[in-house]
Structure 1
Amino acid sequence: MPIPSSSCGPVTSAWSLSAGGTKKRKRLILWPFAQRLTSANGDCPGQPDSGLKSPLFGQPLASLCGEEKTLPQPVQDLLAILYREGPATEGIFHKAASETERRDLKEALDKGDTVDLDSKPVHLLAVVLKDFLRNIPSQLLSAALYEKWMLALEKPSREEKIEELKEVADQLPRPNRLLLKPVLAVLHHISQNAETSRMNSHNLAICFGPNMLSPGTDSTLPLQVQKEMNDKIC
């Protein structure tokens, strides 16, 4: 699945050439985390203003990304800060934040106010990002693809599962893939620093899975069935 370039620069490659001309592996850092080239006001040299033209929460990703096919500036900033601060923040995405602060920050972002996100508690930013994902219509991983995601997990080997999951991911709308990649980069980076974050991939999946995909079935299903579905999603 091709990784898109950022609105302000290319993605940092996962490989570099050593002096002898051989490939050497280095840490993969996806945009927008390699370098903070954008500001809270959406300023970016040579790029149009990417400020919000509509509320941020509960809107289709296609309308938020607009003709420029870039993520909304507040989402870029949230992801960049969480990539930077998340690995050193114990219980990131698990611990709760002040409900009043959460509501106030969401309202400010929805109105398009300029907000200094760097000054906000990291746990608050984590909660607001989960709120944003939870409120995407049809969900980030697309409820319409739910059965295909689940069938991919039925493949007998890990390699076959991965290939099938890639094929399903390729069917996501472009705005969904545009957001999914940096979200996964944040989660992977945090899981690689589980000694400090106390959040391994399993813990992160429990926090994020239900916010990214659900079967869209009737909530009157038995609790045990709902639990089994959520476990599989995670």
Structure 2
Amino acid sequence: MAGMRITDVQSTPGKQPPLILPPQLIGGSLGAVQMRIKSSQSSGDRLSQSKSMVLADSDLSQKPISRHRRNQSQHSAGGVGVSQSSVELKGEYLNKAKISEGGKKLRKNWTSTWVVLDGDRLLFYKESKQEALANLKPGCKADSVDLCGAVVEWTSEKSSRKNVLQITTNLGGEYLLQADNYSTISKWYDAITKTVNSSSRRDGGVVPGLRRSNSTEYLPRHSSLPGYGAASPSSKQRNPGYRRSLNMFPSSKLKHSVSDSADKSGVKNRLKKFIIRRPSMKTLQEKGIIKDRVFGCHLLTLCEREGTTVPKFVKLCLENVEKRGLEADGIYRVSGNLSTIQRLRFIVDQEEELNLDSSQWEDVHVVTGALKMFFRELPEPLFPFRFFELFVAAIKIKDSKEKVHAMKKLVHQLPKPNRDTIRHLFTHLQKVLASATKNLMSTQGISIVFGPTLMWPELDSGNMAVNMVYQNQIVEFILIESREIFDLNED
């Protein structure tokens, strides 16, 4: 009779079974539970049979889970529907690049990808499902990225594109997502960040709402345990290793190990990212880790640092050439050994004690080569950018006296470090010309060497050959008229 009464309840439409469990907690089909209830003899037996897994909150809704929502999480809190902290975004085309896998760098290759945020996973499709159906394709295969323990952040160093976010998984995979519209990528950044934070909280603790039978102890959420997802009493009896595996890992220890591993993974990812991402030179300079060097340093900055208007290295080189190289054949025209020049540059940049009389600098062309390299590597040339066109206009003046007056006026308008360094250099070059019979250097030869070294336009929009002609003519004219322009007769 009891069996007949239960059968009637099952066949009567609109009535619910006494207790409906989520599919992931049953292990088998709903029919298996109904067959167990048929064999029961009383309502008390049915209640005792169902005590193996109970819901924590008695007032939760008893509606069955819809099987048509494939994107519902089967590991949600309380076992009913999707958890309140889960985030879901419908598909959208974004630019994706995978730059690392398992800590190994990959070649960056941007592709337009249909991206879907599904629970704790980020799915990448080659095309949307609608397009796949329109093209009569059997289906879309997706690449899946687990967001549990991942790190999400904006980045501007991994790509020259704008609006780029980087996702680093706990397995060492690194992905870049980019969109031309900032609001679009910002929406994905917020959603992915919320998903990562919520998944981290869940993995660090337990699944709320599930308890062991006849116990107040919560079940840890760990899908790697044997028998996970098959929690019905019959399945436990069929799989005796299930309970043994749980006994091997007590709940408190398991929770500790999960949170501990998550913390270690987060620290490991941060350390790896810190090592891989090298800070820029500007950042190191602002923090005082690296000071401005001599080569490549702005002339004004270098003079302020040294407390002078002529760089010490320039003075040292000019004094050494005047002491032992004025009569050297082709002085400033002949190139020195490049590796030796670079070694000299390294010593100067490291602010080590420099002795140009040492035997390793016995070739005077190494000293002159280092001096020319210093002027070439200035961020702004010795004749500043804003004066380039003014000097070109002055050199075009036909009248010689007016040209001298215009050149003198421009030279005196230069910043003091530039003006004093130019005066010091051209005074030295006058001494080089005084020994022209021995070193075989003329004003034209010196201007060809120093023209493009001391001045160049900020933007090479014009004809480079024409600019070079003007550069040589300006240096040659100043060299010839240097006594008048720099008032050397007064010295």
Per the normalisation by structure 1, the TM-score is: 0.72
Contiguous gaps of at least 5 residues in structure 2: 1-290, 473-491
Deviation per residue, 1:195-230 (Å, 9 max, x gap): 1111111100000010111123337x5xxx311210
Tell me whether 1:55 sits opposite 2:297 in the alignment: no
Tell me whether 1:129 sits opposite 2:374 in the alignment: no
Tell me whether 1:116 sits opposite 2:355 in the alignment: yes
Deviation at 1:140, TM superposition (A): 0.1
Tell me whether 1:177 sits opposite 2:429 in the alignment: no
Secondary structure, in 3 states, of the residue corresponding to 2:407? helix
Deviation per residue, 1:32-88 (Å, 9 max, x gap): xxxxxxxxxxxxxxxxxxxxx741111111111117334332221111112333321
Which amino acid in structure 2 is aligned with residue 176 of structure 1?
N
Deviation per residue, 1:130-183 (Å, 9 max, x gap): 011111122001111111000111211222111100111112111111211111
Q: Distance in 1 between matches of 2:333 and 2:471?
A: 18
2:343 equivalent among 86, 104, 107: 104
Kindly indicate which of the two structures has a greater share of residues assigned to strand: 2
Which amino acid in structure 2 is aligned with residue 215 of structure 1?
P
Contiguous gaps of at least 5 residues in structure 1: 1-52
1:196 equivalent among 429, 438, 451: 438
Q: Is the 8 A contact 1:138 1:144 kept in 2?
A: no
1:164 equivalent among 406, 412, 421: 406
Aligned residue runs from structure 1 range 217-232, under 5 A? 217-218=459-460, 225-232=463-470
Tell me whether 1:149 sits opposite 2:387 in the alignment: no
Q: Considering only aligned residues, what root-mean-square deviation do their CA atoms show, in Å? A: 1.6
Q: Distance in 2 between matches of 1:156 and 1:75?
A: 34
Which amino acid in structure 2 is aligned with residue 111 of structure 1?
Q
Q: Is the 8 A contact 1:71 1:179 kept in 2?
A: yes
Q: Is the 8 A contact 2:309 2:421 kept in 1?
A: no
Deviation per residue, 1:117-140 (Å, 9 max, x gap): 123221000000001111112200
Q: Distance in 1 between matches of 2:325 and 2:443?
A: 13
Tell me whether 1:138 sits opposite 2:138 in the alignment: no
Q: Distance in 1 between matches of 2:357 and 2:455?
A: 29
Aligned residue runs from structure 1 range 35-114, under 5 A? 54-66=292-304, 68-114=307-353
Q: Could you say if the C-alpha distance between residues 164 and 86 of structure 1 is closer, same or farther in structure 2, counting changes exceeding 3 Å?
A: farther
Higher relative contact order (CA 8 A, sep 6+): 1
Q: Distance in 1 between matches of 2:431 and 2:400?
A: 22
Q: Is the 8 A contact 1:64 1:71 kept in 2?
A: no
Q: Select between 153-162 and 82-91 the one with higher mean Cα deviation.
A: 82-91
Q: Distance in 2 between matches of 1:88 and 1:97?
A: 16
Per the normalisation by structure 2, the TM-score is: 0.35
Secondary structure, in 3 states, of the residue corresponding to 1:113? coil
Deviation per residue, 1:91-125 (Å, 9 max, x gap): 11111111110111001101111121123221000
Q: Distance in 2 between matches of 1:178 and 1:64?
A: 14
Q: Distance in 1 between matches of 2:459 and 2:325?
A: 33
Tell me whether 1:187 sits opposite 2:429 in the alignment: yes
Secondary structure, in 3 states, of the residue corresponding to 1:95? coil
Q: Distance in 2 between matches of 1:70 and 1:146?
A: 21
Q: Could you say if the C-alpha distance between residues 86 and 157 of structure 1 is closer, same or farther in structure 2, counting changes exceeding 3 Å?
A: farther
Q: Which residue of structure 2 aligns with residue 26 of structure 1? A: none
Q: Distance in 2 between matches of 1:157 and 1:70?
A: 33
Q: Is the 8 A contact 2:309 2:416 kept in 1?
A: no
Which amino acid in structure 2 is aligned with residue 65 of structure 1?
C
Q: Distance in 1 between matches of 2:471 and 2:338?
A: 27
Which amino acid in structure 1 is aligned with residue 471 of structure 2?
I
Rg larger in structure: 2
Q: Distance in 2 between matches of 1:58 and 1:157?
A: 38
Q: Select between 72-81 and 187-196 the one with higher mean Cα deviation.
A: 72-81
Size of the aligned set, in residue pairs, is: 178
Deviation at 1:233, TM superposition (A): 0.8
Q: Is the 8 A contact 2:330 2:441 kept in 1?
A: yes
Q: Which residue of structure 1 aligns with residue 96 of structure 2? A: none
Which amino acid in structure 1 is aligned with residue 425 of structure 2?
V
